[in-house]
A = this chain, B = another copy of it.
Amino acid sequence: MNNTVILINPFEIPKGKEKDALLMWEKAADFMRIQPGFISTKLHQSIDPNARFSLINIAKWGSAEDFQAVISSTEFQELTAGSMEAFPHYPGLYQVVKT
């Protein structure tokens, strides 16, 4: 049975905040990488600087439960407090349904 899920998280990045956004991502990714269920993460940057979502993170997790446990942890909440709110984002867990 394969419970793998794909996190897709599009971020809106206000002009001039690109560097802050990359630092925020690095900090969160460093934490994610050592959590149970983490498989991989890839940060995608838009070629067009005026794209609605300048950054989109796509990560793989062993299960939805693994991912939910991490983001609801106090440690993750504290780590991202005061940084992630600056960037409106729309995380969701997905599965590939057609190719």
Contacts and interface: CB of A to CB of B under 8 A. Distances in A.
A17 interface: no
Interface in A2-50: 5-6, 8, 10, 22, 25-26, 29, 40-48
This chain: how many copies in the complex?
Answer: 2
Contacts of A41: 99
Contacts of A8: 8, 10, 44, 53, 56, 58
Given A10-B10, A44-B97, A45-B95, 20 more contacts: A8-B10, A8-B44, A8-B56, A8-B58, A10-B53, A29-B98, A41-B99, A42-B96, A42-B98, A43-B96, A43-B97, A44-B95, A44-B96, A46-B92, A47-B64, A47-B94, A48-B92, A51-B92, A52-B92, A53-B90
